[in-house]
Amino acid sequence: MGFFTFIKVMMILFNLAIFLSGGALLGVGIWVKVDGQSFLDIFGALSSSVLQVVNVSYVLIVLGAILLIIGFLGCYGAQRESKCLLMMFFSVVLIIFIAEVAVAVVALVYTSLAESLLSAVVAPVLKEQYGKDKTFTTIWNTTMTEVRCCGLNNYTDFTDSVWYEKTGSYPHQCCGFVNSTSVCNATLAAERSVTGCFDQILKEIRTNAGVAGGVAAGIGALEIAAMAVSMYLYCRLDEK
């Protein structure tokens, strides 16, 4: 087996794995969209932490679709030795790589902007849905209990909320209570000053920055390797 053939086979197998992973993510995303409650019942604590900030089903569907496209272009392009598909594969991976770098830079430089945007989007949803939507309330209760935080920013996120209008108090986590029957009023919540979930999660991310950076570097290296291999096959096809 020549070097070209070896690289071609590796390219096919690698992208076949990506294609199958994309199909699995797409399937899970559709499952969550169609029957989200059963997903929460099975993966309760895992699925209910920070993922409530976004719509999990749509994220999984989009990621699955992207991986399916990448896997198909790389696998079929290498198998058919199609310069067009290989170039499309290279272009898609390059765009994703550039987007990831841009997001990382923005996340590092504009953390305060991200906090403002999240506050503008999530805080109103907390006021409207917490205490009204059972699943949403359960998810946020689990998040606040596990992360030891209150709301997105602090207890004021629940001021004039559906929950406050119903109970006349703030969630017990905002006062640091373990017992959910305890009453958490504004005075006690202000005194305890429990950290908002955004700051707490950001703190956890910074604490584990080495692991996150290693994972990101690994993904980036795989993307660079995939682009290099696809370009190698593309260039070698001119010699055949």
86 with 170, same domain: the answer is no
What pLDDT is stored for residue 148 in this prediction?
A: 85
The ranges of the chain with pLDDT < 50 are 45-54
Is the CB of residue 155 less than 8 Å from the CB of residue 194? Answer: yes
Q: Are residues 103 and 119 in the same domain?
A: no
The answer on 176 and 150 residing in a single domain is yes
For the four alpha carbons of 126, 129, 132 and 133, in that order, the dihedral sign comes to negative
pTM greater than 0.95 (yes/no): no
Are residues 187 and 122 part of one domain? yes
CA distance 177 to 148: 10
pLDDT for res 126? 85
Q: Are residues 54 and 137 in the same domain?
A: no
Q: Are residues 148 and 217 in the same domain?
A: no
Can you give the residue range of the structural domain that contains 173?
A: 112-202
User: Do 174 and 231 touch, CB atoms closer than 8 A?
Assistant: no
* Domain count within the chain: 2
Cα–Cα distance for residue pair 232/240, rounded to 1 Å: 13
Q: What is the pLDDT of residue 47?
A: 47
Residues 77 and 170 occupy one common structural domain? no
> 102 and 123, same structural domain?
no
The CATH number for 118's domain is 1.10.1450
Q: Model confidence over 154-169: pLDDT tens digits?
A: 898 898 888 988 888 8
- What per-residue confidence (pLDDT) applies to 90? 93
pLDDT at 53: 42
Helix, strand and coil percent figures for the chain, each rounded to 5? 80, 0, 20
> CB count, 10 Å around CB of 230?
27
- pLDDT tens, position by position, 182-211: 788 888 888 888 888 887 777 766 676 667
